[in-house]
Structure 1
């Protein structure tokens, strides 16, 4: 069966690689190996066909969320809050709203302020 794993997976199926501990999209066989590609794209890796199994719905969802977060992280450094531009009134207002939310331990409002500040920075202060 060219292009199928011993488990019968067809190209495009999501498999969990027990050795690597991650989900990949099955691309085909290369010699004795199953070729898997990271969910969301990236460099393929070789997996032992005896050590892969169909990914569970939860594993597929988790891999998809991870891929989406990685794509978003390339657009913004989400590990740090956005920095307001000095002397910009709107930046100052959003930074003040963020500080007030943080002071009252309202993490949702703090996140909202960060999102709005990032949007404003992208629209009002392009690099």
Structure 2
């Protein structure tokens, strides 16, 4: 059996679809779609995966990857990763928001962060609740 690496085969012994990796001795090495630990398969038993088997294996790989992904929580209102909101009617707050927006418009993330830090400091010293 001669195949290109990455070709998908169905292995009836394991009831799995795997990517062909290489031939080692009397076996072929297959790897789960999306990555993982390779396994040895009998080259006489494996066959090219059907469209349905390839699709199912791809969906399974995406679901497994998503299941292992960290859950991103929404920032809380007092979260420092969220841009602070100006206090209505405060000239200094408005000035710092203008500075932040100008930095954002010019894609200067460092200046944008600086403006947010200054706005937080101002609000902490002048607008404590």
TM-score (norm 2): 0.55
Q: Counterpart of 2:52?
A: 58
Cα offsets for 1:67-91 (capped at 9, x unmatched): 0000110125xxxxxxxxxxxxxxx
CA distance, structure 1, for counterparts of residue 69 and residue 8 of structure 2: 27
Task: List alignment gaps of at least 5 residues for structure 2.
Answer: 80-129
Question: Residue 34 of structure 2: which of 37, 40, 44 is its match?
Answer: 40
Listed as ranges, the matches of 1:1-127 within 5 Å are: 6=1, 8-75=2-69, 122-124=73-75
Calculate the aligned-residue CA RMSD, in Å.
1.9
TM-score (norm 1): 0.56
Task: List alignment gaps of at least 5 residues for structure 1.
Answer: 1-5, 77-117
Runs of 4+ residues deviating >6 angstroms: none
CA distance, structure 2, for counterparts of residue 35 and residue 123 of structure 1: 43
Deviation at 1:124, TM superposition (A): 1.8
* Paired residues, number: 77
